[in-house]
Amino acid sequence: MHAGGREILLGVATAVAPFDWARSASWIRTQGMAAERIMLIRADGGWTQSEGNWTAMTAPAAAHERAQFALYGLMLLSPLRDAGAVVSRLPDRDGLRGLAVTHPKAPPTQLWFDAANRLREARNTVPDPQSGAPVVQRLRFSADTVATAPKWPRRLVIEQDGKPYFDLAFTRFRAIAGGGGAPTAPPDPTGAAVPGG
Per-residue pLDDT of the chain (197 residues; tens, 9 = 90+): 444 455 567 788 888 998 999 999 888 766 656 668 899 999 999 999 887 788 999 999 999 999 999 999 999 999 999 999 999 999 999 999 999 999 999 999 999 999 999 999 999 999 999 999 999 999 999 999 998 778 899 999 999 999 998 888 888 888 876 544 445 566 666 554 443 33
Q: Considering the domain boundaries, does residue 22 fall inside one?
A: no
At 150 the pLDDT is 82
At 197 the pLDDT is 39
Q: Considering the domain boundaries, does residue 21 fall inside one?
A: no
At 6 the pLDDT is 54
SS3 67: helix
E-only strand ranges, the chain: 2-3, 6-7, 10-17, 21-28, 37-42, 45-50, 53-56, 86-93, 96-103, 106-113, 119-127, 134-141, 145-148, 151-153, 155-160, 163-169
Q: Considering the domain boundaries, does residue 114 fall inside one?
A: yes
Q: Considering the domain boundaries, does residue 110 fall inside one?
A: yes
Looking only at the bridges linking them, the beta strands covering 53-56 and 86-93 are: unpaired
In 46-179, which ranges are continuous DSSP H helix? 59-75
CA 93 to chain CA centroid, Å, is 24
- Which DSSP category does 88 fall into? E
Q: Considering the domain boundaries, does residue 72 fall inside one?
A: yes
Q: Considering the domain boundaries, does residue 191 fall inside one?
A: no
Are 64 and 127 within 8 A, CB to CB? yes
Q: Considering the domain boundaries, does residue 163 fall inside one?
A: yes
Q: Considering the domain boundaries, does residue 133 fall inside one?
A: yes
Residue-number span of the structural domain to which 148 is assigned: 59-169
At 85 the pLDDT is 97
- Residues 6 or more apart in contact with residue 179 via CB below 8 angstroms: none
At 127 the pLDDT is 97
Nearest of 92, 108, 75, 74 to residue 100 by alpha carbon: 108
Are 101 and 82 within 8 A, CB to CB? no
- Count of domains for the chain: 1
Nearest of 133, 115, 112, 134 to residue 123 by alpha carbon: 112
